[in-house]
Amino acid sequence: MPYIRQRCVVHLLLIGLASTIYIYSYIYGTCLYGQDVLARSSAASAEQRLSSLQDASLASSYWTWQRPIVQSAKEPAMERQPHSPQAPGEHASLVGEQASSENGEEPQADEDESDEEEEEKPPRLLGDRLHGRGPVSFEYVYTGEVLSNTRGGLRTRHGTRYEGLLDLSMDLDLQKIRPRLPGRVYLLFQHTHGRGLSLDFVGDAQMLSTIDSFGNITQVSEYWWETTLGDELLTIRLGKQDVNREFQLVELATDFVHSAAGIPATLAGPTYPDNSIAAVLLLKLSESLTAKAGVWDGYPNGATWGFSNTGITFTMVELERTHQFAERLPGVIDFGFSYRSAINLPDEESPEQYTLYFDIEQMVYRENPDDEKDEQGLGCFFRFQTDFPRPENEVKEYFAAGIVYRGLLPRRDDDRIGLAVFYIRHNLGGTGRETATELFYKAQLTPWMTLQPVLQYISSPSGVYRDSLVAGLRFQVAF
């Protein structure tokens, strides 16, 4: 009971902190908006006073952008993204540049507008009002699924379960507050309810679902501070975090329901739902090459603040290379190594564990190769991982391969269909292997909601149980 009271107090303090930051950011953002309105009104009145003094050349330049602009054959056209219409602010800047050049002055960039450029906001059910203001932003995502073991495994009687995951995140940009501080702060709160099928009905070793938490959780899963140095050449991230946020991440595999699409069962790293405290460095060696390194607490417990006080560590390094095949088909190659120190506790013992892994994902076909923003097409991925020492680890090797097509059906450009196979060799007995095959179709019903039917066939669960066939439905809502 004292431990439960402590957790309740901690969660109440976090909620109070988030509310305080939100109120502060709202007031601060309102003040900035008022200052911006005054500045713009002053600038507008100044322009009105100066407009009467402009000569006919400025008037002709004004009408130049009102009509279609014809590029001179002697001057190369400026490179622009395809299908990106000219922003309204570009017309005004064009007039200013032409006027300044005629007066012998160099054009001055509008620093305020460049600083206030915002990234495209994701679609949400509740709009933008409840998602923060100014330096702070909030995101609310709910994922729910119904899975049913229709045959094989441990048992099928009452073998239908519902499980849900609620993600509440806060992102605070410290450079937008006063006094300005470096970097940003991220906080992720997670809650699950229901129970998955793996432990009670299928008996597989790789786990059927990416949201299966092995028991209901209510916890702060991540909290960290991140900053960049040297024009974003070096990124430093300190705090409680998930290994799979940066390491062994295959973007094409993120839509699959099976947990082996994320972190394989062979990796003894801190990942959902048990993250731990860590220090991570990302070094950009070139435009296409990034070196990553991180050290975690090697005995994770997601219900804590990330410290186990056991002295066990988990270390991971990775080299990531991005490329363009035939200059139109992007791809990513990862090669990494991990090490977990030995566990010597009164109730648990485990030897040191070394892991080597290799991941590759590649677009092989794009419907509109000339449009970089059009992601429709076919992609594939392949993954391999091996652990040492093999005789003493539960899982020895991991293989995975899959394909994903986006926009296969007419007028369904954002839908995805995928097929993948996940295979492991283990020391759990029986056949010594397990294979999971998944087929899904993810339909984008609205900009903020998806519906995803899924079929999974588990061959030789844990090497000792009957082949299992699982059918289900997952949905996700971004509030």
Nearest residue to 273 (alpha-carbon basis) of 358, 359, 186, 196 = 196
Q: Where are the beta strands (DSSP E) in 343-389?
A: 343-345, 348-350, 353-366, 377-388
- Give the whole-angstrom CA distance, residue 307 versus residue 313: 11
CATH number at residue 191: 2.40.160.180
CA angle 259/263/268 to nearest 5° reads: 120
pLDDT attached to residue 52: 38
Question: Residue 449 carries which side chain, given as an amino acid letter?
Answer: M
Q: Which pLDDT does position 184 carry in this prediction?
A: 97
pLDDT of residue 153: 96
Contacts of 186 (CB under 8 A, 6+ apart): 169, 170, 171, 172, 222, 223, 224, 225, 226, 239
pTM: 0.76
Residue 6's pLDDT is 43
Spans in the chain with pLDDT lower than 50: 1-15, 17-118
The CA distance from 131 to 22, in Å, is 9
Quote the CA–CA distance of 467 and 204 in Å, as a whole number: 10
Query: What one-letter code names the amino acid at 175?
Result: Q
Domain presence at residue 104: no
Q: Answer yes or no: is 402 within a domain.
A: yes
Contact 328, 258 (CB under 8 A): no
pLDDT per position as a tens digit, 370-422:
888 888 999 999 999 999 887 778 889 999 999 999 999 999 999 999 999 99
Length of the chain (residues): 479
Domain span holding position 230? 127-478
pLDDT of residue 75: 33
Residues paired with 274 in a beta bridge? 271
> For residue 2, what pLDDT is reported?
44
Residue 52 domain-assigned (yes or no): no
Residue 43 located in a structural domain: no
355: in domain: yes
Residue 409 backbone phi and psi in degrees, to 5: -90, 150
Residue 455 lies inside a defined structural domain of this protein? yes
State the distance between the two ends of the chain, measured CA to CA, in whole angstroms. Answer: 34
Q: How many folded domains does the chain comprise?
A: 1
Q: Is residue 18 part of a domain?
A: no
Work out whether strand 160-173 and strand 184-194 pair parallel, antiparallel, or are unpaired: antiparallel
The vertex-292 CA angle with 288 and 295, nearest 5°, equals: 175
Contact 338, 331 (CB under 8 A): no
The pair of three-digit structure tokens given for residue 308, joined into one six-digit string? 């186990």
For residue 7, being part of any structural domain is answered with no
Task: Report the pLDDT value the prediction gives residue 120, as an integer from 0 to 100.
Answer: 63
Q: Alpha-carbon distance 324 to 331, whole Å?
A: 6
